[in-house]
Structure 1
Amino acid sequence: MTTGAEIEHGLRHCKRSAVHLEMRDGYMLDDPDFHAWQAGHRLDPDDRPSWWRPWLQNIVDAVARGAEVRRARIVSEPVSDYIRYEYDITFPNVRAGEQVRWLPRRQATDLALPGNDFWLFDQEILLINHFSGNGDWLDVEHVTDPAVIKLCSEAFEAVWHRAVPHDDYHVD
């Protein structure tokens, strides 16, 4: 499975929780949507068909099943153009039922964090995302070691506790 398919599978089957920790200031910088955003294109919140992506339905369905879907982003400030873009396109996730928070990197100094971004489903299925130095996705690693799962779960919760809810975080 590709990472997208694995994440979709996790969202479709989680019962209690799906958490995602992002710690990079840029991802896939050659993404055409990012380039369109840089050129001035913005999603219209009132035009749902223009921004609704089928995988968002997985979030809607997970939340309807009673799963809590949360994403925390650790970001450098001032934020990069890519983070500004991510911030601008986060409203579809929020509308689908995902909770999103932002933690300025300076406030994460004393937190023990894993070296990579990850998804954790129901405290059992851990998918570690590996990226190249310039942010291109390389692969996903399935981790089953309970100690690593515990470390990632605790790291996420520590970040979540400090992070600012999406509606209260502002990029300039």
Structure 2
Amino acid sequence: MKPPAREPLSRARRTAIHLEVRDQYASTDPDFLEWREGRRTFTPDNRADWWEGWHEAVRDSVSRGVSVRRARVVSEPLTEYLRWEYDYAVTNVVAGEDVRWLPRRQAKDLAVPAVDFWVFDSELVLFHHFGGDGVLQEREYVNDAALAAWCVKAFDAVWERATPHEEYKPV
């Protein structure tokens, strides 16, 4: 069975958008812990070290013509965890995702959901509900056209202001 976001991504026909709004996720992630200790770097030419099922799913979707975009609303200076995500984002980009970063202070006038989400083909929304410790508590799938449209609008507002990964310089 595919992990939760991979299943709808495998069925997407046009778009898959992902908004992340947290500054910290589960700090027990083994890759994060290795990075923190300086034992691992993520570079495009080192695929054997990082290429995983997610990257294959993105590559396959992009090859079918699906636009896969990820935007992160972040506090600056970045938390240590987000610095790791910044370093790791090169893997998402190589797989075919378009990744952008928006400093939280530049989002002050945007209506943005307080939870991370995916929207697939402007129809299906997958919300990720996290605990205060950054551990994922629940995944919630919602098929609601009005809610999906609102999420897409919020994502697009962030996307328009956000800086492409290749240009973003973490503070």
1:136 corresponds in structure 2 to: 135
Counterpart among 23, 26, 39 of residue 24 in structure 2 = 26
Matching of residues 48-59 of structure 1 within 5 Å? 48-59=47-58
- Partner-residue secondary structure (3-state), 1:120: strand
Deviation (angstroms), 1:71: 0.0
The residue type paired with residue 77 of structure 2 is P
- Partner-residue secondary structure (3-state), 1:10: helix
Q: Which runs of 4+ in 1 moved over 3 A?
A: none
The residue type paired with residue 170 of structure 1 is K
- Supply the distance in 2 between the matched residues of 1:92 and 1:115 (Cα, whole angstroms): 26
Matching of residues 1-172 of structure 1 within 5 Å? 5-45=3-43, 46-172=45-171
- Supply the distance in 1 between the matched residues of 2:65 and 2:42 (Cα, whole angstroms): 29
Deviation (angstroms), 1:142: 1.1
- Supply the distance in 2 between the matched residues of 1:38 and 1:59 (Cα, whole angstroms): 26
Q: Is the 8 A contact 1:114 1:151 kept in 2?
A: no
- Supply the distance in 2 between the matched residues of 1:76 and 1:164 (Cα, whole angstroms): 14
Deviation (angstroms), 1:136: 0.3
- Partner-residue secondary structure (3-state), 2:134: coil
- Supply the distance in 2 between the matched residues of 1:44 and 1:112 (Cα, whole angstroms): 33
- Supply the distance in 2 between the matched residues of 1:60 and 1:44 (Cα, whole angstroms): 17
Deviation (angstroms), 1:155: 0.2
- Supply the distance in 1 between the matched residues of 2:30 and 2:60 (Cα, whole angstroms): 28
Deviation per CA, 1:50-69, whole angstroms, max 9, x where unpaired? Answer: 11112211111111111100
- Supply the distance in 2 between the matched residues of 1:44 and 1:69 (Cα, whole angstroms): 20
- RMSD of Structure 2 on Structure 1 (CA): 1.2
- Supply the distance in 1 between the matched residues of 2:57 and 2:130 (Cα, whole angstroms): 24
* TM-score when normalising by structure 2: 0.95
The residue type paired with residue 132 of structure 1 is G
- Supply the distance in 2 between the matched residues of 1:22 and 1:44 (Cα, whole angstroms): 20
Which segments of 5 or more consecutive residues in structure 1 lack a partner in the other structure? none
Q: Is the 8 A contact 1:23 1:74 kept in 2?
A: yes
Distance 1:32 1:44, change over 3 A: closer
- Partner-residue secondary structure (3-state), 1:89: helix
Q: Is the 8 A contact 2:42 2:91 kept in 1?
A: no
Which segments of 5 or more consecutive residues in structure 2 lack a partner in the other structure? none
- Supply the distance in 1 between the matched residues of 2:140 and 2:47 (Cα, whole angstroms): 33
